[in-house]
């Protein structure tokens, strides 16, 4: 695409002295190539100059920057908000995208919900895809990406790719970081869901008020005109969310026990799943579901509302509920030990996530409930004693080990957890902790290995070492 057309798409008035064909876009100077346009994302001029020099060394054709005085010998185009500028360029460069886009935000449940939306579409005969922590999942193309919400160029490139393969619908996880950093800028969603809001990412947002404000950007800045907001009526933030969405002119589908549109009337949890009685726009349905975890009923209802809000017939959407399956690493039953203990993996890595996972698995536990978990390093430290206290109160056996210590001392992280659960057993090796729990758990016990879910690595001292909870469990089975 011609440089002049990209500049016009981003509302940049500069006219290039020599119009050139741009062959690719990037927001990472290390990935710049000859013929590319590179957006310089930096918090200060010194860093911006370093990134620009790197891009120039890689043969980049042009730069977009918030700093006018970068010197590289390349044409540099000024944008007041470079993140929004490159996002608009990206939408112009990668076209078409899937015709129907939906999104889900919230602290917990995003991954399960977008997976359920995709599964509902599939059951209805619609070619759909989900984007998020598990990567890209569809019937025509799947790939693990390693992020919840990718940068705008990567995201648009992937959306364009699946659109070319015939995918017409896509459900995206919208992280608070992604919303604040304009990674989704320029996309418009026909429907969007809000799962819940609990403590997480305070190392980035600093306060819960900032965190909530970041989440609400999905509804104020990213929705189609007359779009549909799908809101959890059972959370404290519901009234405020409803006010925000109505002021934006959005229609609302509320869900949950207090939901007016999708109401959970009855939930019967059993060893292999749960049976729900729900009211959908006044009509009562019963759904025998294979998904475990009581909180997954709320995620399923959010997915149901998101699919309906994007245009799917309600009866077709409800018909898909019995076919839903837990996504990888989300309340996933990996296997049963020779002694008869059931081993689950879940991504729960927040106080709310731990609480919900343990309370849910209690309904599937005939004997003792175990938990193996740790906390991430270089993240919100106030979560550690809270998660320890919840494990102490809700589990019968607690094993504290390492999660992703990153650059922190793993022993110190464990001690901050153990302060709230002094009776727990401690392992400095996650593999040994998992093996110990599996060997000691008896018939009728349930073991929850929490915190890492689908992840394929463990981050220690800045290095990503191969590790996957599910694979480790399967070794010991």
pLDDT at 273: 86
Which CATH number does the domain 3-93 belong to among 3.90.1170.50, 3.40.630.10, 3.40.1390.10, 3.90.800.10? Answer: 3.40.1390.10
Cα three-residue angle 228-233-238, rounded to 5 degrees: 80
pLDDT at 148: 74
Measure the CA–CA gap between 424 and 416, rounded to whole angstroms: 12
Measure the CA–CA gap between 98 and 307, rounded to whole angstroms: 15
pLDDT at 43: 87
Measure the CA–CA gap between 198 and 106, rounded to whole angstroms: 8
Residues of the chain with CATH 3.90.190.20: 332-476
Residues of the chain with CATH 3.40.1190.10: 100-323
Residue 448 CB neighbour total at 10 angstroms: 27
The residues, any chain, with a CB within 8 Å of residue 98's CB and separated by 6 or more, are: 129, 159, 162, 163, 167, 168, 169, 170
Range 100-323 has CATH code 3.40.50.300: no
pLDDT at 145: 78
pLDDT at 165: 97
Alpha carbon 394 to its chain's center: 26
Task: Walk along the chain (477 residues) and give the pLDDT tens digit of each residue.
Answer: 999 999 999 999 888 888 999 999 999 999 999 999 999 999 899 999 999 999 999 999 999 999 988 989 899 999 999 999 999 999 999 999 999 999 999 988 899 999 999 999 999 999 999 999 889 999 999 888 777 788 999 999 999 999 999 999 999 999 999 999 999 999 999 999 999 998 676 677 689 899 999 999 999 999 999 999 999 999 999 999 999 999 999 999 999 999 999 999 999 988 778 999 999 999 999 999 999 888 899 999 999 999 999 999 999 999 999 999 988 888 888 999 999 999 999 988 889 889 989 998 998 899 999 999 999 999 889 999 999 999 999 999 999 999 999 999 999 999 999 999 999 999 999 999 999 999 999 999 999 999 998 888 999 998 999 999 999 999 999
pLDDT at 123: 98
Sign of CA dihedral 49, 152, 134, 373: positive
- C-beta separation of 358 from 395 below 8 A: yes
Q: Strand (E) positions, 304-432? A: 332-336, 342-346, 369-373, 397-400, 425-426
> What H or E segment, with its residue span, contains residue 204?
helix 202-205
Cα 137 to Cα 22, 82, 144, 158, 325: the distances in Å are 30, 30, 8, 11, 14
146's torsion region: left (phi>0), alpha (psi -120 to 50) or beta?
left
pLDDT at 352: 84
Q: Domain 332-476 is classified in which CATH homologous superfamily? A: Mur ligase, C-terminal domain (3.90.190.20)
Residues of the chain with CATH 3.40.1390.10: 3-93
């Amino acid at each position: 695409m011609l440089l002049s057309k990209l500049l016009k798409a981003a509302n940049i008035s500069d006219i290039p002295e020599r119009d050139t064909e741009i062959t690719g876009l990037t927001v990472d100077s290390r990935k710049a190539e000859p013929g590319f346009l590179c957006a310089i994302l930096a918090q200060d001029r010194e860093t911006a100059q370093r990134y620009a020099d790197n891009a120039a060394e890689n043969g980049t054709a042009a730069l977009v920057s918030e700093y006018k005085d970068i010197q590289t010998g390349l044409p540099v185009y000024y944008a007041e908000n470079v993140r929004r500028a490159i996002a608009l360029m990206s939408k112009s460069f990668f076209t078409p995208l899937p015709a129907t886009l939906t999104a889900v935000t919230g602290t917990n449940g995003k991954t399960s919900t977008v997976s359920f939306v995709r599964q509902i579409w599939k059951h209805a005969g619609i070619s759909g895809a989900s984007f998020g922590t598990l990567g890209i999942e569809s019937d025509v193309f799947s790939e693990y990406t390693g992020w919840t919400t990718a940068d705008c160029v990567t995201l648009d490139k992937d959306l364009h790719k699946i659109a070319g393969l015939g995918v017409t619908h896509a459900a995206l996880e919208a992280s608070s970081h992604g919303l604040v950093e304009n990674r989704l800028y320029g996309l418009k969603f026909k429907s969007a869901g809000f799962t819940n809001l609990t403590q997480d990412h305070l190392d980035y947002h600093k306060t819960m008020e900032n965190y909530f404000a970041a989440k609400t950007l999905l509804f104020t800045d990213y929705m189609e005109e007359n779009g549909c907001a799908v809101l959890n009526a059972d959370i404290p933030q519901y009234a405020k969310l409803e006010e925000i969405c109505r002021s934006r002119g959005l229609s609302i589908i509320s869900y949950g026990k207090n939901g007016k549109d999708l109401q959970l009337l009855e939930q019967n949890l059993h060893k292999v799943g749960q049976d729900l009685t729900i009211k959908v726009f006044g009509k009562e349905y019963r759904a025998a579901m294979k998904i475990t975890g009581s909180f997954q009923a709320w995620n399923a209802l959010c997915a149901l509302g998101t699919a309906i809000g994007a245009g799917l017939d309600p009866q077709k959407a409800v018909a898909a509920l019995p076919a839903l399956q837990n996504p990888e690493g989300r309340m996933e039953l990996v296997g049963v030990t020779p002694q008869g203990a059931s081993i689950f993996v879940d991504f729960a890595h927040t106080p709310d996530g731990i609480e919900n996972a343990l309370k849910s698995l209690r309904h599937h536990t005939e004997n003792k409930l175990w938990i193996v978990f740790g906390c991430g390093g270089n993240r919100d430290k106030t979560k550690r004693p809270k998660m320890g206290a919840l494990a102490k109160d809700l589990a019968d056996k607690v094993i504290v080990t390492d999660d992703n210590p990153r650059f922190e001392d793993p022993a110190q992280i464990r001690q901050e957890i153990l302060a709230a659960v002094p009776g727990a057993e401690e392992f400095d090796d996650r593999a040994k902790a998992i093996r110990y729990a599996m060997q000691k758990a008896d018939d009728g016990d349930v073991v929850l290995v929490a915190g890492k879910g689908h992840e394929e690595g463990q981050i220690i001292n800045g290095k990503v070492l191969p590790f996957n909870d599910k694979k480790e469990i399967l070794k010991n089975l």
